[in-house]
C-alpha cells in the first residue's frame, strides 16, 4: 500500500494520555508506532499528560500538559478526572497542530470519546485527525446514549474513527451508518517485533505462561486454572506487572504439589519477546463478549509461541486471517480448557510449521512500519472533500 503523497503530510502528533501509567502496554506501543512514522519519513511528536518515568529516545519529540492541572485532576472523582485529563491532552495536541501545515493528530487511546469530543468542540479548524476507539460504552444499546452523541460529534467534525478490532469497527458502523467511510479496522502495532529467529520451546509439558490476572467480566485465566483438576505443565509463570497477583495464592495452594510456580512483575517495554519464548504455551482466557484485541495473544503469535486461547472475537479474527494460533477452548468450560491442553500436548512438527506461517503473516500486517502506513493511509482516505 502506497501513501498518498499529494497531500504532503509531514508531521504527526501522536496522542497518548496514559503514557505515564506504570502498567499497561502504552509505552511500548507508542515507541514502536513512532519508529514506524519516522521510517515513513514523517516527523513525530508524542503528546501526553505527563512524561513517563523513563525518557524517550532522542529521536522522538514529546510535549506534555502543564503540571498545574495535576492537583485538580487528583481532587476529582476518577471517572471525571480521567475525562478532564484526556480533554486537556487532546486540547494540547490540537493547539500544537493548529499552526502547522500538513500535520495530523493521531489519538491512540482514550477511555471514551468524551475528552476528545470536547476538545474538538472548542477547537477551530481541525488538522486531519484519527481517534482509535477501544471502548464503546452503551452506544450500541441506546440511541440516546451520551457515548453515541460524542461519537456523532467527532464524525461530524471530520474525525476518522479507527478500531483495533473488527467487532468494534462493525459496531461503530451500526451506530454511525452515515459515516461508515470514516470508520476502519486497523492493525494495532506489535510493540516488540522479534528478529527472524523462529526458535521456541517445543517442550510441550514445559512452561505455561499466564500474563495478566482475572478481571471481572473480561478475562479469567487464574480462575480457570484453579478449577482444573490437574495442570499438565511442569511450571506456570504468573505475570502481573501490577505486582498484586490477585487470586494467585489459592491457585498455587491447590496445585503446589504437582506444579512449580514463578511470579514475575516486570513491566516490559522491550524484551517481551524473549520472555514469551521461555514458555511452551501462553494461556489466554477472555470472555466471548470482550470485543477488543488481546495484546498478549498477538505478541505470542508474533513471537511464534502457541496460545491456548478461549474463543472470543480477536482470537477468531486472528485464526481466520492468519491460520493456526494454537488451541482454542470455550470460556467458562473447564473441560473444554482441559481438552485444549491435551490437544496441544499432542502437537507435532506440522503444527509448529502452521503456527510459524501464521506468525509471519501477522508480523507482515502489524509491524511498526506496516501499522503506521495503514493508519496514515486511512487518515488521508478519510479527509473531507474540503480538506483534500
What is the number of structural domains in the chain? 2
State mean pLDDT over 309-318.
96
Same domain, 312 and 221: yes
Q: Considering the domain boundaries, does residue 5 fall inside one?
A: no
C-alpha torsion sign, points 316, 25, 231, 301:
positive
Looking at the domain assignment, is residue 194 inside a domain? no
- Is residue 202 predicted with pLDDT exceeding 80? no
Percent of all residues in the chain with a pLDDT value above 70, rounded to a whole number: 93
Residue 105 structural domain: 11-189+367-387
pLDDT of residue 1: 45
Question: Do residue 123 and residue 235 come from a single domain?
Answer: no
How many other C-beta atoms are found inside a 10 Å radius of the C-beta of residue 185? 20
The reply to whether 120 falls in a domain is yes
Same domain, 255 and 228: yes
Specify whether 235 is located in the same domain as 345.
yes
Question: Does 133 lie in the same domain as 211?
Answer: no
Examine residue 80 and state whether it is found in any structural domain, yes or no: yes
Q: Is residue 100 part of a domain?
A: yes
97: how many CB neighbours lie within 10 A of its CB? 22
Per-residue pLDDT, 301: 95
Are 220 and 111 part of one and the same domain?
no
User: What's the pLDDT tens digit per position in 276-297?
Assistant: 999 999 999 999 999 989 989 9
> Is pLDDT at 4 greater than 60 in this prediction?
no
Instruction: Write the pLDDT tens digit of every residue in 178-190.
Output: 999 999 999 999 8
**200-212 residues labelled b (16+ CB within 10 A) or e (exposed):** beeebeebbbbbb
309: which 3 cell numbers? 486461547
The reply to whether 153 falls in a domain is: yes
Cα 229–230–231 angle (5° rounding)?
135
> Is the residue at 4 inside a domain?
no
CATH code, domain carrying 235: 3.40.50.2000
Place of cell 519464548: 277
Which pTM value belongs to this model? 0.89
304 in the same domain as 156: no
Q: What is the mean pLDDT of the chain?
A: 90
Q: What is the pLDDT of residue 242?
A: 85
Q: Say if residue 163's pLDDT is above 50.
A: yes
- Mean pLDDT over residues 299-308, rounded? 94
Looking at the structure, tell me whether residues 183 and 297 fall in a common domain: no
pLDDT digits (tens, 9 = 90+) for 316-367: 999 999 999 999 999 999 999 999 999 999 999 999 999 999 999 999 999 9
Same-domain pairing of 131 and 234: no
Considering the domain boundaries, does residue 241 fall inside one? yes
**Residue 315 sits in the same domain as residue 232:** yes
Q: What's the number of CA atoms in the CB half-sphere (13 Å) around residue 25? A: 20
List pLDDT tens digits, range 204-261: 789 999 999 999 889 999 999 999 999 999 999 999 988 999 999 999 999 999 999 9
Both 132 and 50 in a single domain? yes
Give the chain's radius of gyration (CA, Å). 21
Contact between residue 179 and residue 250 where contact means Cβ atoms under 8 Å apart: no
Same domain, 65 and 178: yes
Cα torsion for 100, 20, 16, 133, to the nearest 10°?
-170
Q: Which element (helix H / strand E) includes 163?
A: strand 160-163
Over 80: is that where the pLDDT of 198 sits?
A: no
Decide: helix, strand or coil at residue 200: coil
What digits encode the pLDDT tens for the residues 264-280? 998 877 788 889 999 99
Task: Give the percent of the chain with pLDDT over 90.
Answer: 70
Report the distance separating Cα 67 and Cα 49, nearest Å. 8
pLDDT at 384: 59
pLDDT band at 60 (very low <50, low <70, confident <90, very high): confident
pLDDT for residue 86: 94
Residue 174: φ, ψ to 5°? -70, -30
Q: Residue 266 and residue 382: Cα distance in Å, rounded? A: 40
**Is pLDDT above 90 for 26?**
no
Strand intervals (E) in 170-280: 183-185, 207-211, 235-239, 260-264
Amino acid at each position: 500500500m502506497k501513501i498518498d503523497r499529494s497531500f504532503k503530510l509531514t508531521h504527526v502528533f501522536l496522542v497518548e494520555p496514559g503514557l505515564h501509567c506504570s502498567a499497561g502496554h502504552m509505552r511500548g506501543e507508542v515507541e514502536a508506532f513512532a519508529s514506524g512514522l519516522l521510517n515513513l519519513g514523517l516527523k513525530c511528536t508524542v503528546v501526553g499528560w505527563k512524561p513517563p518515568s523513563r525518557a524517550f529516545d532522542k529521536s522522538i519529540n514529546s510535549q506534555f500538559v502543564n503540571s498545574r492541572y495535576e492537583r485538580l485532576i487528583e481532587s476529582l472523582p476518577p471517572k471525571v478526572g480521567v475525562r478532564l485529563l484526556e480533554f486537556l491532552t487532546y486540547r494540547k495536541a490540537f493547539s500544537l497542530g493548529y499552526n502547522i501545515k500538513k500535520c495530523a493528530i493521531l489519538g491512540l487511546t482514550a477511555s471514551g470519546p468524551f475528552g476528545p469530543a470536547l476538545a474538538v468542540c472548542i477547537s477551530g479548524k481541525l488538522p486531519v485527525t484519527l481517534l482509535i476507539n477501544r471502548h464503546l460504552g452503551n452506544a450500541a444499546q441506546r440511541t440516546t446514549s451520551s457515548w453515541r452523541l460524542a461519537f456523532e460529534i467527532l464524525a461530524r467534525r471530520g474525525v476518522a474513527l479507527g478500531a483495533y478490532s473488527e467487532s468494534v469497527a462493525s459496531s461503530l458502523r451500526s451506530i454511525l451508518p452515515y459515516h461508515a467511510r470514516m470508520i476502519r479496522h486497523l492493525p494495532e502495532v506489535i510493540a516488540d517485533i522479534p528478529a527472524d529467529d523462529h526458535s521456541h520451546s517445543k517442550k510441550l509439558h514445559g512452561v505455561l505462561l499466564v500474563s495478566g490476572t482475572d478481571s471481572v467480566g473480561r478475562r479469567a485465566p487464574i480462575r480457570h486454572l484453579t478449577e482444573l483438576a490437574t495442570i499438565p505443565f511442569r511450571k506456570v509463570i504468573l505475570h502481573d506487572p501490577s505486582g498484586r497477583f490477585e487470586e494467585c495464592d489459592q491457585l498455587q495452594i491447590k496445585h503446589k504439589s504437582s506444579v512449580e510456580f514463578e511470579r514475575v512483575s516486570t513491566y516490559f517495554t522491550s524484551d517481551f519477546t524473549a520472555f514469551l519464548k521461555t514458555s511452551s504455551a501462553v494461556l489466554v482466557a477472555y470472555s466471548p463478549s470482550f470485543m477488543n484485541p488481546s495484546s498478549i495473544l498477538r505478541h505470542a503469535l508474533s513471537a511464534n509461541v502457541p496460545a491456548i486461547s478461549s474463543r472470543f472475537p480477536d482470537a477468531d479474527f486472528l485464526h481466520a486471517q492468519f491460520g493456526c494460533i494454537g488451541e482454542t477452548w470455550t470460556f467458562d468450560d473447564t473441560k473444554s480448557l482441559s481438552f485444549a491442553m491435551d490437544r496441544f500436548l499432542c502437537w507435532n512438527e506440522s503444527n509448529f510449521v502452521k503456527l510459524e506461517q501464521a506468525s509471519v503473516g501477522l508480523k507482515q500486517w502489524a509491524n511498526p512500519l506496516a501499522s503506521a502506513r495503514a493508519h496514515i493511509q486511512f487518515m488521508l482516505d478519510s479527509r473531507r472533500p474540503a480538506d483534500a
